[in-house]
Copies of this chain bind each other. A is one copy, B any other.
Amino acid sequence: MKILVTAGGTTEPIDDVRGITNHSSGRLGSFIAQDFFLEGHEVDYITTRTAVSVKEKHRLQLHYIQSTSELKAKMNQLLTENTYDAVIHSMAVSDYTPTNTTSGSAFVAQLAKEIENAKTADLKETLTHALDAFSQTKQENKKISSDEEKLIVVLQKTPKVIQMIKEMQPQTILVGFKLLVDVSNEQLVHVALESMKKNHADFILANDLHSISGDKHTGLLVRPDGDYKVASTKQQIAKLIVQSVEEKVKAKR
C-alpha cells in the first residue's frame, strides 16, 4: 500500500522572527508512519523541522513544510503525482493566519480615520469595513519593533487543507484528527461525526488535550456509524489506525 502521513504542527509567520504555532510534537504521527512502514507499506511523510523525527527516517519519503500554505502546496503536489491507498492527516494545522500586525496606536489612528470618513451611520458596518481594509493591507514582514505598548494582530481563517484530500482522491481512505479540550466522550464522538461528514473522512481519531500526557494518550477511533474503538497510548493509537486502515483497504478490494 502507498500511504501519506502528516505530522507535527504548522507555524504561521507574524514577522521574520515570530510565528503562531499549533502545539504538536508530531510524536503520534511518527509512530503511525513507523508502523505503516514496518508493515511493509510505502510512506510519504509530511512534517516540520521542529517536530520529533521518525526513527529510521531513511525508510520513508520526508517532506518538510512550515506554514499552512506550504502544507497546501505540498499536499497538492503529492496528491497530483501519486495515488494513495490511505491518507493519515494527523498534523495540527493552523485555522488562522496573521494578515497584518500593527501597534495599538496606529490601529486606533486608522480606525478613527475610517469612522470620520465613513459614508454610513452604521458604526458596526464601518468598523467591519475598517477591519477588512486593515487585514488586506500588506505588512512588511521584517521584525516588528518592540517599542510599542500594544500590538494588534488580525488573523484570517485559512482554507481547510483536509477538504482537498477527498476532492483530489475520492478513492483514498482518509483518517482525520480532532483535538478538543475538556469534553465528554459523547461530545468527542459527536464532533468527530460532524467532521467526518464535512471532510468525507472514513475515520476520525478524536482526542482531548486533557487526556494526553507524554505517551499516555486516550484516542477514540470513530467510524461513520458512530462506533468507536479506544486506545490509551500513542503506540496503541498508531497500531489501531494501521490495523483499521488495512482492514478497510482489504474490504474495498
A contact residues vs B (CB 8 Å cutoff): 11, 14, 16-23, 50, 92, 94-96, 104-105, 107-109, 111-112, 115-116, 123-124, 127-128, 131, 135, 142-143, 146, 148-157, 179-182, 209
For A21, give its contact among B11, B124, B128, B152 (CB under 8 Å). Answer: B11
User: A155, B156: Cβ atoms under 8 Å?
Assistant: no
A154 and B149 CA atoms in complex are apart in Å by 11
A242 and B190 CA atoms in complex are apart in Å by 58
Smallest CB–CB gap between A70 and chain B, Å?
Answer: 15
A72 and B207 CA atoms in complex are apart in Å by 33
Chain B contacts for A155, CB-based, 8 A: 150-153
Chain B contacts for A19, CB-based, 8 A: 20-21, 23
Chain B contacts for A108, CB-based, 8 A: 124, 127-128, 131
Closest to A21 in B: B21
